Amino acid sequence: MIPYEQAGNDGSHGALAASQLAGQAGSFGSAGPKLRRALGLWSATATSSGLAFAAMDYLAVVSVATYAAGTSAWLAILVAGVLALLVAGIFSELNGLYPSAAGIRLYMSRAMGNRTALSVTFAYMTTIVAVIAADAFLIGAAIQHVLHEPTVLAYVWIVVLVGMAITANLLGVKLTGAVQNIVTYTVLASTTALSLVAIFNVPGPLRRPLALLHAGPHNAIEAVAYGVFLYAAFEWVTTTAEEVRSPATTSKALFIAPGILFVVTAVFALALTHAVPFASSHHSPYPQLLLGRAALGEIGELWMLATTVLTAINTFNGGFLTASRFLYAAARDGNLPRVFCSLNLKAVPWFPVLVLGATSALVAAAVFLTRQWLLLVAVGATLEALIYACAAWCVLALRRRDTRKRSFYLPMAPVLCVAGMVIFAVLGLASAFSNPANPSRLSVLPAAVVAVIGCIATAYVLIAIPKLQAKAAARARAAQPRRRPMRTISSEAPSDSGSGQL
C-alpha cells in the first residue's frame, strides 16, 4: 500500500493524515480480514469487459448510429477503440504506481489535491450506478415487451436479478469471478453470433459503411463521443488491484478488454444498421430484440432476450464488485462512515454491496417512471470522457512529482497525454450538449445533470468528510497506548552503596 502522506503535497496533508489515522483505527486491525488476491487474468478481463458491455451498449450503438450515416457506426466505434487503448495505457501506468483499491483517489490526490480528487472520484462513481440502473430498466422493458407483462412485474424481475448479483458478491470474490467469467463471455459470444447471422441472413448490401464524415465533422465527433461510451467503465477493474494476483494482471486486462469490446460492438452496429430500419431502432429501448427478430424471427427475439437478461448478471455482478471496493477503500481512509469498510467472513465489503444494490434498484425505478434512458447515455458519456482527460493530466503531473518505479510506463507520455486531454475534453463537451433523441438540436440537460452530480459530490467532500476525519483522528488518538511517566530517584531513598551496611 502506498503511504497516505504520499498522496498529496498541496496543503491537504492534514486531511490525508486523518485518512491514515482512520485506516489505523478502522474496525479491523492489521490482523483482521483483508481483501483476497484471487482474480486471475481471465477474471480480470471478464470484469473489465463485463462492466463496459451492458444492455446500455445496445442503446449506445443506436446513439452512435444517430450521427453516423449508413452503416458507418462501426467506424466511429473503431476510432473510439483506439482512444480506449490510450486510456488503457494511462490507467495501467497509474495503477502500476498506486496498486490499491483506493488508487483512483490516491493518484488524483497527488496530482490535483485531496478535495478535488474526492469530488471527482465520487462523481465518477455515479457512472457505475447510472449504468446499472439504466440496464435494469432496459432489461425490464425487454422482458415486458416479449412476455407482455405489466410494468410492476417487469420491475420485480429486476429486483430478483439485483438480488442474485448481491448474493453472488457476498459469497466471496472467487465465486464472483467465476460467475463473471461464465456470464460475460457467454453474453459477448451470443451477441456476436446473432449479429453475424443478421448480417448474412438479411438480404442486401451494407449501405455506406465508410461514410462516417458524410454528415459533417460535427456529427462524426458526436458519433465518436458516444462510441467512447461503449468502452465506458472498463478501467474500473483497477479498483480490484488488491484482489488480482499481480499489477501486471490488471494492465493486461486493460489492453485485452477494448479489443474484445470493439469486435462485439462493431459487429452488432453493422448488423443493426443493416437489418433494422433506423426509424424503428431509434426510439426503442430494446433494439437488440428488433435485431433478433429481423435475423431469425421469434427465435432470434427470444435468443436476444436471454442474452439481455444475462447482461444484467454480468453488469450488476461486475459493478458491485468494483464499486464496492472503491467505497471500502474510501471508508478505510476515513472518507465514508466506518461501516463501509466492514468485511464479512468471505472478506467482502458487505455494506457497500447492499447500498449499491438498493441505490441501483431505486434509480431504475426512477428510469421506469421517467423513461429517460437516452439521457443516462449522454450523462455517462460526458462523465467518462472528462475523467479520461483528468487521468491523462494525472500521468503528466505524477511523472514530475513521483519518480518511483511503475510496473508500466506509457510510451511517449507527454505527447499522448496532451493529445488525450484535448480529445477527451472535446468529446466530453460534445456529449454534454448533445441531444440523442433529436440530433439536429442541442440540449443542456446532460450538462445540467453532470453539474448537479458534481455539486452534490463537492458538498459532501466539504461538509461531511471533515467531520468523519475528525472523528477518525479522535478514535486513533484514543486507541494509542498511554506512556506511564518515568519514575525519578528520591534524594531521601537509601543508596545502593549503603545497602550492605549493618
Instruction: Convert the pLDDT of each residue in 442-453 to its tens digit.
Output: 888 889 999 999
Per-residue model confidence (pLDDT) at position 59 = 85
Per-residue model confidence (pLDDT) at position 502 = 32
Q: What is the pTM of this model?
A: 0.77
Please, which pLDDT band fits residue 482 given cuts at 50, 70 and 90? low
pLDDT digits (tens, 9 = 90+) for 32-43: 455 556 567 888
Residue 1 has pLDDT above 50, yes or no: no
- Give the domain ranges of the chain: 37-473
Give percent above pLDDT 90 in the chain: 28
Please, which pLDDT band fits residue 264 given cuts at 50, 70 and 90? very high
For residues 97 and 463, what is the distance between their CA atoms, to the nearest angstrom?
30
Whether the CB-CB separation of 208 and 72 falls below 8 Å is answered with yes
Per-residue model confidence (pLDDT) at position 493 = 47
For residues 336 and 468, what is the distance between their CA atoms, to the nearest angstrom?
7
Q: Residue range 69-85: average pLDDT?
A: 92
Give percent above pLDDT 70 in the chain: 86
Residue 315 has pLDDT above 80, yes or no: no
Cα distances from 128 to residues 379, 383, 397, in angstroms, run: 12, 11, 26
Mean pLDDT of the chain: 81
Retrieve residue 313's grid coordinates: 448478471
Per-residue model confidence (pLDDT) at position 472 = 78
Per-residue model confidence (pLDDT) at position 101 = 66
Residue 255 has pLDDT above 50, yes or no: yes
What residues have CB less than 8 Å from 194, skipping those under 6 apart?
271, 291, 292, 295, 296, 300, 303, 304, 307
Whether the CB-CB separation of 321 and 240 falls below 8 Å is answered with yes
Q: Residue range 289-304: average pLDDT?
A: 93
pLDDT digits (tens, 9 = 90+) for 102-141: 677 788 888 888 888 888 888 887 877 777 777 888 888 8
pLDDT digits (tens, 9 = 90+) for 414-433: 999 999 999 999 988 988 99
Per-residue model confidence (pLDDT) at position 2 = 36
Cα distances from 400 to residues 110, 413, 486, in angstroms, run: 11, 12, 47
Whether the CB-CB separation of 341 and 331 falls below 8 Å is answered with yes
Count of CB atoms situated within 10 Å of the CB of 27 = 12
What residues have CB less than 8 Å from 485, skipping those under 6 apart?
none
pLDDT digits (tens, 9 = 90+) for 52-65: 888 788 988 998 98
CATH number for the segment(s) 37-473? 1.20.1740.10
